[in-house]
Amino acid sequence: MTEPTSVEKLTTWAAGSENPVVQFVRTTLGPLLLILITPPAAIIFWIVCTFEPFNGSLAPLLTSAGWSSVAAHWPWPSTSAAGIVLIFAVFEALLLQWLPGKNYEGPITPTGNRPRYKLNGIAAWFITHVLFLGCTFGLHLFKAGIVWDHFGEILATLVLFAMLFCLFLYFKGRYWPTSEDRSLSGNFIWDYYWGVELHPTLLGINLKQLTNCRFSMMGWSVIVCSFAAKQVELDPGGHLSNSMLVCVALMVLYLFRFFWWESGYFTSLDIMHDRFGYYICWGVVAWVPAVYTLTAQYLVLRPSDLAWPLAAAIFVLGAGAIYMNYAADAQRQRVRATDGASSVWGRPPELIRASYVTADGRQHENLLLTSGWWGLARHFHYVPEITLALAWSLPAGFNHFLPYFYVVYLTILLVDRASRDDRRCHKKYGAAWEEYCRRVPWKIIPGVY
């Protein structure tokens, strides 16, 4: 076996410290704790949303009654859940492969490769949702609340399957890699957690696109639609609360926008930089269904109607945040696609031409936009991302913390991500990035941080 040419060794948050204790915490202890804590947490959140004595509150976890309930309701993987997951995964893989769509070449990797993607996400989104609704309300093959009915088993199945799949990815990256875009540190915990390959493929399918986009984001959309349907099924009058309506409408709108902008996602850190291991793969397969859906999960059994003007105001806040986040993402993409020949907020863009070298020794150039959204702060687009998460949590009211867990988690994730991205871009562009930081000194919130 030949060891991979490690173009990018322990980058990301493991980088930047020579202190061996900090290195150990960041590359071994921290990842190990996350691998041990996040799977049970994903399940416990569901139990807290669903069973007594929790009633949506985390506080009973401090009591023995709480832990007895956790033990009594602990879900296990089941064949029916595995069937649902497998059918969904295969169906999405077939849509990805067979639906027509433009081929899209992603950004150049550190070894000089260009991964390829198929842009047919919007068509896949429509077919998936129409089929789901058709099978439920049209053909009556199953009830629309089916995902809620099996959610415990589905989560248990996803948690276990994703852990095993990450192990497979580790060995695949080690012994049967798709390309030279991989690295092994020799520390199994780090390599399992962070992943080995950057763009693994299997049977010709780009695994990151299939898993992150078509399985996870598409699944999130279907899951919350099913949760809304379950609330209707449970209500004797078949009523859908406007709190659930606003929450789910914002999530679905956000996910629809995601597929609208799928090519932009291929220029995000998840794809360009993060290797495909536990952090990303387990995250999208198990953590997204468990945690990103939390507010909708919480609302299924707690229907409450807001005053309509308040519901409308929350929706407008969320929709505005979706637009702002999209506008920022699209602005940077547009400026690069036109080599700066497009206007930014009605003016010619202010730019830095930043050069970088790939592992094959070739020099390339990228544009760094320093005006528009990207002139406010270097990651201003995280502000609307967090505002949106807050907007779809607000309909749950203020009785419990759980519906806001995602907002807190996302804020921590994005603050860490902004620093990671700065480190990575500094390493990639050197003086050009320093010039960007001089022109745009704020990381996320202008004047604050």
Cβ nearer to ligand NDP, comparing 294 with 306? 294
Two structure tokens written together for 28: 């071994």
Residue pair 43/159 in contact by the 8 Å Cβ criterion: yes
Backbone angles phi, psi at 359, to 5 degrees: -60, -25
By CB under 6 A, residue 337 contacts ligand NDP:
no
Among 421, 432, 443, 444, binds ligand NDP (CB under 6 A): 421
Give the residue with the Cβ less far from ligand NDP, 90 or 269.
269
Nearer to ligand NDP, 215 or 374 (CB): 374
Q: How far is the CB of 273 from ligand NDP (least distance, A)?
A: 7
* 269 contacts ligand NDP (rule: CB under 6 A): yes
Distances (CA, A) of 109 to 7, 90, 182, 261: 10, 28, 10, 21
Q: Interface mask (CB under 6 A) for ligand NDP, residues 221-260, using x and -?
A: ----------------------------------------
Distance of alpha carbon 220 from its chain centroid, rounded?
A: 10
Question: At closest approach, how far in Å is the CB of 31 from ligand NDP?
Answer: 18
Task: Determine which residue in the list 8, 92, 191, 329 makes contact with ligand NDP, applying CB under 6 A.
Answer: 329
Q: 261: exposed, middle or buried (C-beta count within 10 Å: 0-12, 13-18, 19+)?
A: middle
What's the rounded Cα separation, in Å, for the pair 312 and 200?
A: 43
- Run of H or E residues at 351: strand 351-357
Q: Which is nearer to ligand NDP, 242 or 371 (CB)?
A: 371
Indicate the helix (H) or strand (E) that contains 271: helix 269-272
Torsion of the alpha carbons at 125, 130, 131 and 132, rounded to the nearest 10? 90
Q: Which amino acid is at 62?
A: L
368 binds ligand NDP, rule: CB under 6 A: yes
Is 369 a binder of ligand NDP (CB under 6 A)? yes
Judged by CB under 6 A, the stretch of 49-57, 150-158, 193-201, 416-424 that binds ligand NDP is 416-424
Residues near ligand NDP, by CB under 6 A: 107, 267-270, 325, 329, 332, 366, 368-369, 374, 379, 381-382, 385, 410, 413, 417, 421, 424-425, 428
